[in-house]
């Protein structure tokens, strides 16, 4: 059975980075796996990522679809090769990938689907484009906003969310998980319409 698509969350491996802004994509993958584990029609199994990624196989019985879900285990700026390897091994074209990533140009609490286009200086996306040889894949851009005070951008994205931001973060992860599920069930256009009509 072939895969209907591939969901890849971007982030940095290890506990040091687990709650940082740059790991929004990883957080969403974790939320999705937990969500689907509670759904009777979803069957989840861990797969070997050859030490290069955490990988899950997710089958939805209701609509007979199968998805590959992964978190690369290399650092953000080297996200591309593990994702490209999984695509090659599983016969998944770039246009069937949905990349979940943090986005400086959207405030925390906002998210947007996008297909192809610019990379907005995101090193994980740059690595992915270099490895895949194309920008033509879907993204779910998860807003983290820009710092209120002057700070090196690398320090900002590698800093944890503040305690005051956690309630918004949790609500955003719930909405993003729902939006990603809509993407899996009904496609990008429907997911975009549903998400963007709700701000």
The domain locations on the chain are 5-197
- pLDDT tens, position by position, 128-168: 999 999 999 999 999 999 988 888 888 999 999 999 999 99
Which secondary structure element, helix H or strand E, spans residue 68, and what is its range?
strand 65-72
Given the residues 22, 149, 196, 198, the one annotated as active site: 22
Question: Could you confirm whether domain 5-197 is CATH 3.40.50.1470?
Answer: yes
Residue 50 has pLDDT above 80, yes or no: no
Separation CA 14–CA 35 (nearest Å): 22
- 149: helix, coil or strand? coil
3-state DSSP helix/strand/coil percent for the chain, to nearest 5? 45, 25, 35
Q: Find the mean pLDDT for residues 30-56.
A: 88
Q: pTM here?
A: 0.94
Amino acid 115: pLDDT: 95
Is residue 61 part of the annotated active site? The answer reads: no
Structure tokens of 19? 């709650």
Query: At residue 10, does pLDDT exceed 60?
Result: yes
Least confident of 21-25, 80-84, 106-110, 144-148: 144-148
Q: Alpha carbon of 9 to those of 12, 40, 76, 151: distances in Å?
A: 10, 24, 10, 26
Element (H, E) at 5: strand 5-9
Question: Given this model, what pLDDT does residue 149 score?
Answer: 80
Average pLDDT in the chain: 92
Summarize the confidence of residues 87-93 as an average pLDDT: 95
Residue 47 has pLDDT above 90, yes or no: no
Q: What pLDDT score was predicted for residue 48?
A: 72
Rounded mean pLDDT, 81-99: 96
- Asked whether the predicted pLDDT for residue 35 surpasses 90, the reply is yes
């Amino acid at each position: 059975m072939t895969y209907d698509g591939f969901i890849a969350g971007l982030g940095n491996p290890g506990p040091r980075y687990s709650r940082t802004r740059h790991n929004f994509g990883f957080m969403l993958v974790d939320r999705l796996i937990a969500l689907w584990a509670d759904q009777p029609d979803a069957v989840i199994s861990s797969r070997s990522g050859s030490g290069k990624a955490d990988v899950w196989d997710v089958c939805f019985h209701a609509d007979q679809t199968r998805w590959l879900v992964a978190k690369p285990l290399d650092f953000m700026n080297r996200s591309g090769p593990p994702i490209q390897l999984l695509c090659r091994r599983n016969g998944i074209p770039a246009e069937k990938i949905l990349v979940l990533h943090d986005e400086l140009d959207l405030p925390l609490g906002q998210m947007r689907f996008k297909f192809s286009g610019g990379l907005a200086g995101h090193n994980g996306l740059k690595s992915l484009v270099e490895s895949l040889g194309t920008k033509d894949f879907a993204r779910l851009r998860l807003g983290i906003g820009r710092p209120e005070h002057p700070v090196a951008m690398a320090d900002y994205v590698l800093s944890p969310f503040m305690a005051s931001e956690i309630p918004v973060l949790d609500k955003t992860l719930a909405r993003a998980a729902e939006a990603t599920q809509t993407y899996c069930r009904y496609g990008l256009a429907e997911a975009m319409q549903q998400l963007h009509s709700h701000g």
